[in-house]
Structure 1
């Protein structure tokens, strides 16, 4: 032995190489130490003429002869290993006629076919490992020539011979014939020597032919193999980890050779071959299987079978499984992020990768529709995985570096065709885009593209998924009600001829209910993941910040109302940039997820609600109102603090009351076919917000200021009165019909006298009336309560001539309904089922009388009693619509004459002439002085 650190002798170098390659030139030594006996090379050793400068040749000879020995003695499927081989040994590591054994095990999850290539690769990797053992045993001696040179050559030659093996140099059975590259078992078993894979890439990447021949089969197999896997077992981890590692390997010039190879594959971005071009991105592309790993039952039924096969499962157990699946999904997304991140930081592959992402979004743009054919588009799991990757890529983007004109750039990767805009019509967008196309374009930066691709991916991923999730919940509730109702009604149908059909229907419903419940549990894991939802909130918060910069470049929306001059590039933005935020908040708020990320989003929504001229679509404004509605403590107690901070902000205190009042009246006409019923839901939301705001002194003061300001508050009260009248009328009518049917059912003789069809018809009518009654009473109660608390502090606006008579008529009528001779027709069973509290309503109505107690109000009540006296009217001065005496007649542009208070009230509802529907303003009314003189003279004569 030589001292540590001294230079190794030639004999020591040769012995070290023999240990590395597990060979011996002596047959006795080979048997004693279980190494390969190299007969041919023993002659060279006997000559002892090999010099150190011939080491490369010596190593090549060693490897070549060892490989040939292995080739001749490898057990295969046709030639099994010796019978005396120990059962515990690794079959694929032994060769007949030798004592050499490899302990390189393969994963039990992989089925490995014995082959010459496999045996040779195991040997070469063992040798590569033994080089490291030599270096570890003698660190100083192996760090200086000649031993350092010898070991370096040995390591290099192991890799070079591996390249030859992988190209089929030592076997007629190529990798493609057994279905995969021989490298695959080593990669999936994670048993490659340290740094071996990296050195294999470095050695081959400059020879494109060799590199493609070795690694194309590898990445193709990993993709195909992953497509067969699911999250029902942990086998998905191996190909994901391998692909991540391959993508991260760098070569000279900071390039990533595997990434370069991936975008050159024919299935990187294949042309569509069917109408299912969206689904093809998941099923036919190289990256599709990795991004397609999913927990959703529609994407992979194996997840349901593995985790939720039990018919009955407690909520705690189901949630535990869901959290486990969430952790698995996070691991998958982390790997996908690293794969795509490597592709994007690699200069050569950045453009193809961005094109791939943009193409996924383009071919799946129909996911933004309320209804779409899921068979033609990527699955929910794929889209959420891609969204999560893009979220991580966008986390550190500086908003100041984003080009806000990018959505209108001629090279943009996101299509806005057919999208509704914040303010512009389609024609205005086209004209403006032509105008800006004349200006010089700046170069599009990666940060800009990445941000807008992420924004559009949210539009096609999380929003459709949450809508589908909510539809599923409604379907489960509806189906549960159907089952309960049918089971409760069984005594009525069990003896009918159709009983068998009813039982079969019940069985089908129960089976469908079970399937829906299982798919819902899978969806819980995919949709209710708090980490993912918080990342969405974070991204939308940054989007809100950007939109505020765009809408108000000078003050960033710190001054409200916003400037009257609206920036064109804001007007041209798609509505969904704002609407998606509102929809997402509406989804997460009921889940009790309250994060700091909410603040910027909620501020933006509040600013837009207080600057309604910045939005063209009234239903988008209504969506913002709904967000504010779900924040109210009576709806969501967990958001009380968030709501308080928002309502007490300067923007809300100074602007929210007048803005909501204006929208309350404006929503009377939306332009939609169902506007009449939509307005009640919107106004209900506003009434709940108003109820909270009325308890805050600063907002109460704003109500009073608005009441003093004049016309807008009068219009608001007019709409409030219209709604109260309609809703109470409908509610009371429903209660009367419910009372009648319940009385009929209680009378056994009359009920049994009806045919089965008539009974069924009455039952369905009752169900419909009960549903409508609940809805109308909910809306009516809130509207009447608003009247109640407003009149405690505000009186004068309710007493203006154009309102006071209708108000008293409405109050008197409903008081008569509740206390008159027919009040018993409003008595129903279980009134609380409908929210029917007649005593409370009566108290509220009588309070309103007291709140408005004054001579003017008393006179209006008296007017109501006299209004039906037809003898007071003179044919010559008859009011054409109401048939009442006019006290202040005015002439309309159409030539018709009307009472000023009546036409003014009409104009509060609709700015049109009631006779010809032409536009009409209050300042166009002309006093009918001659007619008024005649009326005054007639009244004076009658009073005598």
Structure 2
């Protein structure tokens, strides 16, 4: 069969469409009448057969569509289109099926492209119906709307006698009437807050507790209205969700706490206003009013915390009213950073607000250990406070270094122990898994006879303790890092780290009095912090003359050198001082941190491992003595030495049990894979540094340098480097 020409195909299709439309016309006459009355007059005579008409062009279809859309209002456009569809449903179905058949034949796609393009243009040419709105309508708040928002935020009224859901403040009404048309919202909000706080202070009970909560009938988002006549998009209840506090840190029952609760609730209601009407509250003047409301809540909270409305609070002994809220995560979002940034410019007022909080955290850390999770909140709170920035400075970091117990001067021979027990950061750094530092860890994780503990139980205990340690060290690193990146506190932080190392310098000796130095947990935590700070140090930028710098934070003069006598070292240092200019550079943080980390390894992990190995040898020896004494029991049990041997055997077994539990704690702290990995990573940096010192003139040659020409910088280094 020969293939049809394009003209014959088009002619047959038009004939088929025209014939198929005739029987459907009488059946849908009722629908046509209804649709014609809705859609408007027809564009052609209804009796004209489709085969006698030329196909309409896309331009005509677009003009018809546009005229249809402009006849009626835009809101009824979808209804018009939906009602006009049944008028030619059979024709559309036939046309669509025919198009699908032709589209499946690649040989006829080009032939029918004209008709298919016509149909596509007809469907695509109709523009999408959009509702035209005036974007400025209802967006900018009026003065009445702003006053109503202030009334809702602070749960007050001034127009009429108070109902049971607001506090009535009649004096505010006269103030607003005097400023009608030009209300000073800062003065109004300040007066509202002062009157409410005075009511709380002077009343026998909190007047806010007598207010009846008004529960909204529907959801705030469902009750939202964009109409400018709407007084409130949501009837806000004055009864915000009650704050819950942890049992070990509950707020005091006093007037100050009631004031703080009211100010925090008001601050939170500002956010509710913004979420309820986001468009109106994002542009002036409503945005300015809400900003003023927030700022006034912050300022008055700082006054309450300073004891302005009651009595002046001690910066050292007093407990901060902010602590229970921080411990229970009850502060509104953004309140704490804004409080710090607002009050930090006040100087003495900033110290009166946050010094009690810092000292409360310090005292709390002295009572918590790794046997519970109570140490997490104080660490996280201090880290969060140190991260808060005001411009380019961190006010809390600066305030920490201004505390009287930031870095105690030595008052006894136990200078190392004083750093751990008396300095501000000492309790934070003292978290430990060692039995000598904290016996509660042994009682919690290794209860019972050591020989009865199974391997899987020990692995779970090790993982739990190491996870706790890693969390604490991560938070401590955040705190120290924040103090080091802050220009105002960098020198103080470096001085504290250097002082902690110098006061514990006797830890490297073979015989150490444990009562005079800091504990193993303190030193390992300090080591972990310095390791993390040293990982980004570029070795080539480390000043090789820093150990011999007259202003070096580390004193290496008493340490044994690699290959240099004391006299040679002294004369060489004198020659360096006489050089002009001196060979050393101005001390920078990477150099100081690198050498402090070397020294910290010498005072922490190395002595701890030596003591750990010594304990293992002693346990083995003690176990051997017990076995030998029990083996010979038949020989001495009937002699005069029987009682003495029984007492000795009992003492040895008790000591053996204590040593085994102590060893289990050491296994958790010393055999920590993460810490050992950091040690190896750091010592690889040290090896790179030492190789650079041996060969001060690096070349591409693989030959080793002449050992007789080793530089004095290498020979004068401490032997533990």
The answer to whether the superposition gives a TM-score over 0.5 is yes
Q: How does 1:40-119 map to 2 (within 5 A)?
A: 40-41=170-171, 43-44=173-174, 47=177, 50-73=180-203, 103-119=242-258
1:448 positional shift: 0.5
Q: What are structure 2's unaligned runs of at least 5 residues?
A: 1-134, 214-236
**Aligned equivalents of 1:516 and 1:73: distance in 2?**
62
Corresponding position: 1:377 with 2:517: yes
| Structure 2 residue aligned with 1:293 | 431
8 Å CA contact 1:25–1:45 kept in 2: the answer is no
Corresponding position: 1:262 with 2:379: no
**Aligned equivalents of 2:200 and 2:239: distance in 1?**
10
8 Å CA contact 1:26–1:37 kept in 2: the answer is no
- 2:681 corresponds, among 538, 551, 573, to 538
8 Å CA contact 1:102–1:126 kept in 2: the answer is no
1:298 positional shift: 0.9
Corresponding position: 1:122 with 2:261: yes
Corresponding position: 1:14 with 2:147: yes
Secondary structure of the residue aligned to 2:278 is coil
| Structure 1 residue aligned with 2:287 | 148
| Structure 1 residue aligned with 2:34 | none
Secondary structure of the residue aligned to 1:113 is coil
8 Å CA contact 1:187–1:242 kept in 2: the answer is yes
| Structure 2 residue aligned with 1:24 | 157
**Aligned equivalents of 2:312 and 2:398: distance in 1?**
28
Q: 1:30 to 1:437 in 2, by over 3 A?
A: farther
1:246 positional shift: 0.9
Q: 1:4 to 1:235 in 2, by over 3 A?
A: farther
| Structure 2 residue aligned with 1:329 | 469
RMSD: 2.5
**Aligned equivalents of 1:184 and 1:50: distance in 2?**
42
1:348 positional shift: 1.1
Corresponding position: 1:474 with 2:613: no
8 Å CA contact 2:465–2:668 kept in 1: the answer is yes
Corresponding position: 1:488 with 2:631: yes
Q: 1:177 to 1:342 in 2, by over 3 A?
A: closer
- 1:343 corresponds, among 473, 483, 488, to 483
Secondary structure of the residue aligned to 1:53 is coil
- 2:596 corresponds, among 447, 453, 457, to 453
**Aligned equivalents of 2:705 and 2:311: distance in 1?**
79
**Aligned equivalents of 2:625 and 2:702: distance in 1?**
52
1:27 positional shift: 7.8
- 2:645 corresponds, among 491, 495, 502, to 502
Q: 1:204 to 1:299 in 2, by over 3 A?
A: same
| Structure 2 residue aligned with 1:93 | none
- 1:422-475 Cα shifts (integer Å, max 9, x gaps): 111111111111111222242111110010011111111111111111111112
- 1:508-549 Cα shifts (integer Å, max 9, x gaps): 111111111111111111111101100000000000000000
Q: 1:308 to 1:75 in 2, by over 3 A?
A: farther
Corresponding position: 1:163 with 2:296: no
- 1:874-899 Cα shifts (integer Å, max 9, x gaps): xxxxxxxxxxxxxxxxxxxxxxxxxx
| Structure 2 residue aligned with 1:807 | none
**Aligned equivalents of 2:160 and 2:343: distance in 1?**
36
**Aligned equivalents of 1:476 and 1:25: distance in 2?**
80
TM norm structure 2: 0.73
8 Å CA contact 1:104–1:122 kept in 2: the answer is no
Higher RCO (C-alpha under 8 Å, 6+ residues apart) = 2
| Structure 2 residue aligned with 1:465 | 608
**Aligned equivalents of 1:58 and 1:471: distance in 2?**
74
| Structure 2 residue aligned with 1:608 | none
| Structure 2 residue aligned with 1:565 | 709
1:207 positional shift: 1.5
Secondary structure of the residue aligned to 2:515 is helix
8 Å CA contact 1:4–1:140 kept in 2: the answer is no
**Aligned equivalents of 2:575 and 2:630: distance in 1?**
67
**Aligned equivalents of 1:350 and 1:570: distance in 2?**
29
- 1:739-777 Cα shifts (integer Å, max 9, x gaps): xxxxxxxxxxxxxxxxxxxxxxxxxxxxxxxxxxxxxxx
1:563 positional shift: 3.9
**Aligned equivalents of 1:22 and 1:177: distance in 2?**
36
**Aligned equivalents of 2:642 and 2:155: distance in 1?**
82
8 Å CA contact 1:166–1:175 kept in 2: the answer is no
TM norm structure 1: 0.56
**Aligned equivalents of 1:487 and 1:107: distance in 2?**
53
Q: How does 1:349-748 map to 2 (within 5 A)?
A: 349-439=489-579, 440=582, 441-555=584-698, 558-560=702-704, 562-577=706-721
Secondary structure of the residue aligned to 2:488 is helix
- 1:848-889 Cα shifts (integer Å, max 9, x gaps): xxxxxxxxxxxxxxxxxxxxxxxxxxxxxxxxxxxxxxxxxx
**Aligned equivalents of 2:619 and 2:158: distance in 1?**
77
- 1:127-182 Cα shifts (integer Å, max 9, x gaps): 11111111111111001122111100000000000011011022237466983011
| Structure 1 residue aligned with 2:420 | 282
**Aligned equivalents of 1:28 and 1:99: distance in 2?**
17
| Structure 2 residue aligned with 1:684 | none
**Aligned equivalents of 1:242 and 1:22: distance in 2?**
31
Q: What are structure 1's unaligned runs of at least 5 residues?
A: 86-97, 578-944
- 2:340 corresponds, among 175, 193, 201, to 201
8 Å CA contact 1:125–1:193 kept in 2: the answer is yes
8 Å CA contact 1:466–1:527 kept in 2: the answer is yes
